[in-house]
Every structure is written in C-alpha cells, then in structure tokens.
Structure 1
C-alpha cells in the first residue's frame, strides 16, 4: 500500500508532467460537459439533487480519508492537519453552498475557492507525492471539485453576483486570516494559510517578497484576483447563461 504511505516509493510530482496536464484537461472537459447539460439538469430536480449530494459526499469522504491518512501513518499534527487552510475552508463553503444554494456561500466559494484552487492546481504544493500516490488524487480531486461545484451552481442554478460581492468576500477573507494568524501564534510551529512563512516548494508566494511583506502584497493580489473572477463571471453570463435564454 505504498500509494497510501506518508513516505512511499511513488515518483515525485512533476510540474506540468503528463499526470498534471491530464488533471487540468479533465477539469476543462467536465466544465464543458456541464455547460452543455445545464438545461437538462436544471429541469430534472432529481438529477440536480443527486449531483449536488454526490459532490458533497465526495468532498466529505476525501477529507475523512485525508485525516485518516495522517493518523494511520502516525504523522497527524495540530500544527498542519486541522482544516484551517484556505483550501479547507473553501471546500467547507462549497459543501454548504451545494446543500443550501444560498448566494452568500456561493460568493465565498466562487471568489475565494475558485481563484485559490485554480492557482493551487497550476502550482501545486504536494512535494514528493506524485501520481499515483493518494495525496496526488486527494489534492487535485478536492481542489477540482471546489471549482466544479461553483461552476455548477453558476451555470445550472444561474446564481448571480454583484460587484459588492467582491468587497464582501475580500473582507471576510481578511477577517478569517486575522483569526488564523492568532491560531498560528497559539499552536507551536503552525503555519496555516502560510501566514508565518512561505510554502517550502516554489509557488506564487515567491514573487511577493519576504515575510511579512508578502502578506500585505497578497491582500492586494487577492482583491485583483477577485475582480478578475468577477470579470470571468460576466463572460460566463454572456457566453453561456444569457445566450441560453435567447434560445427556444
């Protein structure tokens, strides 16, 4: 069971290697298929409910397996395994969004979840856990599902966003980061949301200067990313959602 060991014989992760490219292409294909099937899903409440519950169940099972992986391998630690990173919070907001279809949870998942998941999937921080290690599948399935879930609620349920949503989510994110910063101070060696130091592997964090300056740069970058996400929302509105309303 080397695929489930904390330190096994699986190959190192290769950035934009065959497995990485296959994951990104697969995500694109899923979103295209979802776009084409959106009206059929929207008119079939049973299918819609099954798909949403299926995504919820998958996200929860993946998290349980992730925590189990740490425990089984004797590697679990409060300083890194608690669900406090941005990716953990956004899969939780994605679950609540899929269950409630409430716009506020959609806003959080779309802006904070999709933007961070896209960047993270392009520049993963998974060390030597390459394909076919469990961590490889967990990482890309979890981040990919956050993107798929938000896109699903957008194109199938046609949930709307406003420019005010950008500022609201940015404010929530900064408030959450302040709470996590305090938690990092309380738990020895904790580095949730990478507020105490940069990730060990190459990431976009490396572009923003040393600690603590990159934290302030990230605040501006996150706001710019949210604005880009809002622009992409309007592109999807006109190319996908608005065009469908003109069709018979």
Structure 2
C-alpha cells in the first residue's frame, strides 16, 4: 500500500505536471458546467447530493487524520484543523448540512481567496496516485465548487456586510490561533514566523508587520471579490425576473 504510506519518493508532486494539469482542467470544466446549468440544478434532488458531498468530505478528512496517525505524521503543533483551508472545509460541511447564509458569507471569501489559490499553486509533497494527492485536491476543489454552487444555483450572494463579518470572524479567531501556537510551539497562520521557502510573505515586511499587511491584503481582496460578485448578483436577479419559469 505505497499509495497510503508516508514516503513520497515514488509519488513526488510536481507543480503543473500532467496530473496537476488534468486536475486543473477538471476543476475549470466542472466550474463552467455549474455556471451554465445553474438554473437546472436547483431541484429537490440535489439535496441528497449536498448531504452526500458533506459526508464524503467528513470521511476524507477522517481518513486523512488516520493516515497521519498511522504513519506517525500527526503532530499537535501542525496537524490541528486550524489553517484557513481546514476552517473552509469545516464551514463547507456545515453549509451543506444547514444551508445557513452566515456560514456561506464567511466561506465565500476563504474559499475563493484561499482554496482556489491552493488548487493552482498547491503546497503538496505527494503526487498522483498517492492518497494525499486525492485528499488535497478533492477537499480543496469541493470547497470551491460548493461555494460557487450556493452562489450561482442557490442565489447566496455576498454583501458588503459579508466582508465585515469575515473581518470580525478572522479577528475573533486570531487570539485563539496565537494561544494555540504558544501552547503547541506551532506556527498556524504563520503568526510566529514566515514560511521557510520563498513566498508572498517576503514582500509584506518583517515580523510582526507582515501580519498587519496580510490582514490589509485580505480586506482589499475581499472587497474586490465582493464588488465582482455583487455585479453578478444584479445580473442574476434580472435573469430571474425575466424568466417565465421563475
């Protein structure tokens, strides 16, 4: 069961390799399909698919933590589900199960600004066909697809207040992450030091100022994303008012 082991020597991941490009192509293709068929997907039948998707994400995540534990990779300082992508996954499952608008408002930004970026530039060591390869891309892609599904199909569009809620949510979590980092000697959210290799953090200033730069960047990108989808929301409502079927 090498595909489930802890060695990546036979499964080295290479960015923009054939397997990575196939994943990107599938991601873009299905995203287009969701948009094109958005008016045909809002039926009661899709509720079963929503629940099934939530269960699959839970099972994938349980299997992932089991894999880490089995291979002695699970560490308190780095394996807790506290990174923004982990939080996005949790929010995604909650949204699928409850359909709460507040959950969507937070997930919308963390998914489109975080998970989507991870799909194109993944921080991943294990390549195809290792379990970690499938876990990484399945969870990240589903987070984005679920967000776009609730946006285009269900009509859950963000508002300016959504940006405010995101900022409040992030800043309420901030002291929690700082506390966990101190107790576990971890570096969740890179709040203790920058990543080891070259990254965006290098242009955001020295510690601790890059933390404030990151928050400013988050606010700016969130506002831009809100403006783009706010325009889409207006078009969406016009389309619905003109449609004789709605």
- Taking the aligned partners of 1:222 and 1:196, their CA distance within structure 2 comes to 18
Cα gap change, 1:210 to 1:233, in 2 (>3 Å): same
Distance 2:100 2:14 in 1: 38
- Within 5 A, what are the aligned runs for 1:87-102? 87-102=85-100
Give matches, 1:10-29, under 5 Å: 10-29=10-29
For 1:153 and 1:71, locate their aligned partners in 2 and report how far apart those are by CA, in whole Å.
34
The aligned counterpart of 1:143 is 140
2:195 is the counterpart of 1:170? no
CA contact (8 A) 1:155 1:241 kept: no
Query: How many aligned positions are there?
Result: 244
Aligned to 1:80: 78
Q: Which sits farther off after the overlay, 5-14 or 86-95?
A: 5-14
Deviation larger for 158-167 or 12-21? 12-21
TM-score w.r.t. the length of structure 1 is 0.90
Partner Cα distance (1:170, 1:196) in 2: 20
Deviations 1:217-237 (A, max 9, x none): 100011111112212312432
Measured against aligned partners, the alpha-carbon deviations of 1:136-168 in whole angstroms (never above 9, x if no partner) come to 211111111111111111111111321121011
Give the drift of 1:11. 3.7
Contact 1:125 1:201 in 2 (8 A): no
1:191 corresponds to: 187
Q: Pick closer, same or farther for the CA change 1:142–1:35 going to 2, 3 Å.
A: same
Larger mean Cα displacement after TM superposition, 64-73 or 198-207? 198-207
Alpha-carbon contact 1:97-1:106 (below 8 Å) kept:
yes
Specify whether residues 217 and 159 from structure 1 end up closer, same or farther in structure 2 by C-alpha distance, changes over 3 A only. Answer: same
Following the alignment from structure 1 to structure 2, what is the Cα–Cα distance between the partners of residues 83 and 102? 21
Structure 2 CA distance, aligned partners of 1:70 and 1:2?
14
Alignment CA distance shift 1:192-1:237 (3 Å): same
Q: Name the residue aligned to 1:130.
A: 127
Q: How far apart, CA to CA, are the structure 2 residues paired with 1:130 and 1:197?
A: 27
TM-score by length of 2: 0.91
Q: Could you tell me whether the CA contact under 8 Å between 1:98 and 1:153 is conserved in 2?
A: no
Structure 1 residues 178 and 96: alpha-carbon distance in aligned structure 2, compared to 1, 3 A threshold:
same
3-state SS in 2 of match to 1:124:
coil
- Go from structure 1 to structure 2 and tell me whether the alpha carbon gap of 1:197 and 1:112 turns closer, same or farther (over 3 Å shift): same
C-alpha contact 1:130 1:136 (8 A) present in aligned 2:
yes
Q: Secondary structure at the match of 1:157?
A: coil
Would you say the 8 A contact 1:12–1:130 is kept in 2?
Answer: yes
Gaps of at least 5 residues in structure 2 are none
Structure 1 residue 244 displacement after superposition: 4.7
Unmatched runs of 5 consecutive residues or more in structure 1: none
Root-mean-square deviation over aligned CA pairs = 1.9
